[in-house]
Amino acid sequence: MKNPQSSHAKTVAVVGTGMAGLATAHLLHQDSQKRYQVTLIEKRDQISLSAESVQIPSRDSNGPAVWADVPMRAFAGGFYRNLIRMYDYLGVKYREQPFLFSFTRLPKRQQSVSTTSCIPGPQMVYASNFHQIPPIPRTTNLIHWCVEAVYAVLCYLWFTFCCFFISPYAENLQTGQLSESLDHYLRRMWIPQYYVANYLLPLISSVCTCSHHELLNFPASDVIEYKRRTHLQQHFVVTAGVQCVQPKLLEGVELRLGVNLTHVIPQDNGVQIKYSTEDGKHTSEHFDLVVLAVSPDIAASLFPAVNSQLSAIPTTTVETVAHTDKSTIRPMLHATASPNSIKCAKESRGSYNLLTQRIHLLSNGTITEAVHEQTNSILVTTNPLFPLDKSKIIRSASFVRVLRSPLSRLVVNSIFQGRVERTNLPKSTPVVSSWRNGDNGVYLAGGWCWDGMVLLEGCVVSAMRVATDLGVVVPWDDTSS
């Protein structure tokens, strides 16, 4: 239903129902002057933010069902400032979530073997923010473990010191030098390669859900900034899963599901979009403004004006499986099982117990498989390295993951922060100065539309940017008042 009061309002099509599309639609719709009539468009037949989440029956037959977010939607204080403010504004309840990470190095000779029978126990276990003393894996020799633990702690301290006191090289447009990559920075800081390969990359690649090689090509600033901001900060998850965020952001917004956008064509007096619907019909429609809250590869294919720029942004596909097959993590469970290995911490406000969740990281030196233990024995595996028992799979999904590189960082900043002169840039650099966000009535939003790791915070920041550019006050942004 269109808003009858808004006949003079500008029509805005927001494309995509991930966090970025939902937040953008919400912000424009709640404009106190009612200047925007928002239509939210999604090619799937359901809202995508929690489309793959799994409902877990409660242990208590009368208790409420809980949701396992697939993929994970965790966030941490410090880094997710705007996401947390938005959740607070919407009244979304979230809780602290401590994690226990186990690190398992798959032996070289087994790296290509796809059987779980040879998986060793973990070489180390680490508690997020040192919230508890981690268990010593029973499968390791104690002296060997002590040496490894001291080594890992010393390397961690040195890495942390570097993050806070030694900044990565910024890009130099005079010389055509791009910003420093993570690989270059770690080598320049003399962070030992053994620590990088066995601890740092498995941990960070489980956040970025990409291969070690792809992660090493990230701008160092992304990882350093993430570390600085999340250092000693709590992790959180939405108590009832992100499915409870959707209705709050959608309230009052016109929603069209099953609409697959195919073309975005700027015109003198607005933007024409072409799309197909599930019944096979092809339609075109005119809007005053269009916000593409989709991944950069999709935006590039829909809107030719950004094609050359956005094709410089790398993407990959990530598989996530919710299941109950414990065969991969059995060695870890066996090595760390003791009454003290999982601590039930009383939440400071006293309203509920916080159960530490375990995340098992199995690394073959190239890729890290992350297995996240959820309540009621549900496991969520990202980047599976070993085949899972099909009869134990609850849900399996693939996601496009937007990656970062020094070049893509330059391109993204040129679109969202201002024009960059082409003089002296490397020949491979796409036309970075040609199109800027909002040109031709088209805006971009998404986890990748900011200068940082591609996470939910980028979704909210980019949605706020669209709103601010269109003169809409962001109700949770206390810096604008």
Ligand X SMILES: Cc1cc2nc3c(=O)[nH]c(=O)nc-3n(C[C@H](O)[C@H](O)[C@H](O)COP(=O)(O)OP(=O)(O)OC[C@H]3O[C@@H](n4cnc5c(N)ncnc54)[C@H](O)[C@@H]3O)c2cc1C
Q: Which residues bind ligand X (CB under 6 A)?
A: 15-21, 41-44, 48, 71-75, 209, 260-261, 293-295, 298, 318, 320, 382, 399, 401, 446-447, 454-456, 459
- Select 318 or 354, whichever has its Cβ closest to ligand X: 318
- Select 70 or 425, whichever has its Cβ closest to ligand X: 70
Nearest partner of 258 among 12, 41, 40, 53, judged by Cα: 41
- Select 162 or 238, whichever has its Cβ closest to ligand X: 238
Closest approach of Cβ 302 to ligand X, in Å?
6
- Select 294 or 425, whichever has its Cβ closest to ligand X: 294
Q: Hey, what are 93's tokens? A: 């309840």
Closest approach of Cβ 421 to ligand X, in Å?
29
- Select 152 or 370, whichever has its Cβ closest to ligand X: 370
- Select 178 or 415, whichever has its Cβ closest to ligand X: 415
- Select 19 or 313, whichever has its Cβ closest to ligand X: 19
Q: Which residues pair with 289 in a beta bridge?
A: 12
Closest approach of Cβ 115 to ligand X, in Å?
25
Residue 203: strand, helix, or coil: helix
Closest approach of Cβ 254 to ligand X, in Å?
15
Question: Cis (ω within 30 of 0) for the bond into 71?
Answer: yes
Q: Give exposure, 315-349, as e/b (b: 16+ Cβ within 10 Å).
A: beebebbbbebbebbebbeebbeeeebbbeeeeee
Residues 6+ apart with CB under 8 A from 259: 41, 42, 43, 275, 276, 277
Nearest partner of 374 among 388, 353, 357, judged by Cα: 357
H-run or E-run covering 99:
strand 99-105
Could you tell me how many residues make up the chain?
481
Closest approach of Cβ 17 to ligand X, in Å?
5
Q: How far is CA 380 from the centre of its chain?
A: 16
Closest approach of Cβ 278 to ligand X, in Å?
12
User: Based on C-alpha coordinates, what's the Rg of the chain?
Assistant: 23
Closest approach of Cβ 142 to ligand X, in Å?
34
Closest approach of Cβ 337 to ligand X, in Å?
26
- Select 48 or 181, whichever has its Cβ closest to ligand X: 48
- Select 124 or 380, whichever has its Cβ closest to ligand X: 380
User: Cα torsion at 247, 252, 257, 260 (round to 10°)?
Assistant: -120
The amino acid sitting at 423 is: T
Closest approach of Cβ 21 to ligand X, in Å?
6
Residue with tokens 């970075």: 432
- Burial class (CB within 10 angstroms; exposed 0-12, middle 13-18, buried 19+) of 437: buried
Closest approach of Cβ 360 to ligand X, in Å?
15
Q: What is the DSSP string of 455-467?
A: SHHHHHHHHHHHH
Closest approach of Cβ 446 to ligand X, in Å?
3
Q: What is the DSSP string of 346-413?
A: EPTTSSSEEEPEEEEEEE-SS-EEEEEE-GGG-EEEES--S---GGGEEEEEEEEEE---HHHHHHHH
Closest approach of Cβ 213 to ligand X, in Å?
18
- Select 155 or 367, whichever has its Cβ closest to ligand X: 367
Per the CB < 8 A criterion, the answer to whether 362 and 335 are in contact is no
Q: Name the closest residue to ligand X (Cβ).
A: 18
- Select 231 or 274, whichever has its Cβ closest to ligand X: 274
In the Cβ-directed half-sphere of 246, how many Cα atoms lie within 13 Å?
Answer: 18
- Select 200 or 445, whichever has its Cβ closest to ligand X: 445
H-run or E-run covering 111:
none
